[in-house]
Amino acid sequence: MPPLNPKINIFLVDDDAVFLQWLKIEFAEHPVYHVKTFATGELCIANLEKENPDLIILDYNLNGLEKKAMNGLQTLCQIKICKPNLPVIMLTSRDKIEVAVNCMQYGALDYVVKSTTAFMRIEKNIHAFFQLRNMEKEESGYGELCPV
């Protein structure tokens, strides 16, 4: 029998090593999360089936280190092809409505601007998503299977 409150497996994908490490530390302070980090979209996609994450947090401008690497939207498209129901939260340093609309059109759950409050917004999104998923499962007779 699976545990009642399993950990939420999260992929953090960002080529900004400092921001990636900061976010990883923030998640590590909460025992409900299990985090894996990746510096490229290619590495994320390569581990998608094997690791089976519950959620992905993905940088919009992902090809800063390697110009030929997939950017965030290309990675998002690949994720949605492989796992169409997998929630993806996009991260970016650009606070522009066009970027937010782009992310949502490609299937992102939300768009979060990189800032000192980014973790709080991400956590609110995660909580709301799993709360909704739990309610849907309860209504369909599956019972609560997801943490949060």
Which carries the bigger pLDDT value, residue 81 or residue 146?
81
Q: How confident is the model at residue 106 (pLDDT cuts 50, 70, 90)?
A: confident
Backbone angles phi, psi at 111, to 5 degrees: -130, 120
Asked whether residue 135 is assigned to any structural domain, the reply reads: yes
**How many independent structural domains does the chain possess?**
1
How much is the average pLDDT of 7-26?
A: 93
Asked whether residue 145 is assigned to any structural domain, the reply reads: no
pTM of the entire structure? Answer: 0.82
Asked whether residue 34 is assigned to any structural domain, the reply reads: yes
Asked whether residue 46 is assigned to any structural domain, the reply reads: yes
Asked whether residue 87 is assigned to any structural domain, the reply reads: yes
- Span 79-92, pLDDT tens digits: 999 999 999 999 98
Asked whether residue 123 is assigned to any structural domain, the reply reads: yes
- Span 57-79, pLDDT tens digits: 999 988 766 778 899 999 999 99
For the chain, the average pLDDT equals: 85
Q: Is pLDDT at 32 greater than 70 in this prediction?
A: yes
> Which of 112, 114, 108, 41 is CA-nearest to residue 78?
41
- Predicted local distance difference test score (pLDDT) of residue 2: 42
Asked whether residue 2 is assigned to any structural domain, the reply reads: no
Whether the Cβ atoms of residue 38 and residue 17 lie closer than 8 Å to each other: no
- Predicted local distance difference test score (pLDDT) of residue 131: 82
Residues in the chain: 148
Domain range spanning residue 115? Answer: 8-139
Q: Is pLDDT at 112 greater than 70 in this prediction?
A: yes
Asked whether residue 39 is assigned to any structural domain, the reply reads: yes
DSSP sequence for 64-117: SS-TTS--HHHHHHHHHHH-TT--EEEEES---HHHHHHHHHTT-SEEEE-STT
Q: Is pLDDT at 14 greater than 50 in this prediction?
A: yes
| CATH number of the domain encompassing residue 113 | 3.40.50.2300
Which carries the bigger pLDDT value, residue 102 or residue 48?
48
